[in-house]
Amino acid sequence: YDMITAMFSKVQYRVGSAVKVDGGYDVPVTVIPIQMTGELETAAQDAVSNGVTELLNDPAVMSMTEEELTNRLLIMVMNAIKDELETNPTYGEPTEVTVRYQELEEGLWGINKADGEKLGSAIFRSS
């Protein structure tokens, strides 16, 4: 949860002027994506290496289940990514995504799932 909060706190975007269209508004959003490669990838790899070493030196490891071991490593990786994001986020080239702001159901306005996924893909880049 802390990692996700850190990721979204570092997102950079600008919302453009909405254009009225049939059924709602088209809204351009310029996103400066967080790069999920480079330093973040290195931080995750280092966390796995350090985590394995830590686990091998922990006498309690013999009584842990595979799920407990996996969860412990996963927490180490997520904390490393969170720390890297908080101190050294890396951004990619800006990209513009247009989403349709519309009435999803009576009295509830927002963007549909497909536009949400399109926006999410623009926020975090892995290449």
DSSP state, residue 52: H
| Average predicted confidence (pLDDT) for the chain | 86
For 43-72, what is each residue's pLDDT tens digit?
Answer: 888 888 888 888 888 888 888 888 988 888
Residue 102 pLDDT: 95
- Cα(66)–Cα(113) distance, integer angstroms: 35
66 C-beta neighbours (distance < 10 Å), count: 7
Length of the chain: 127
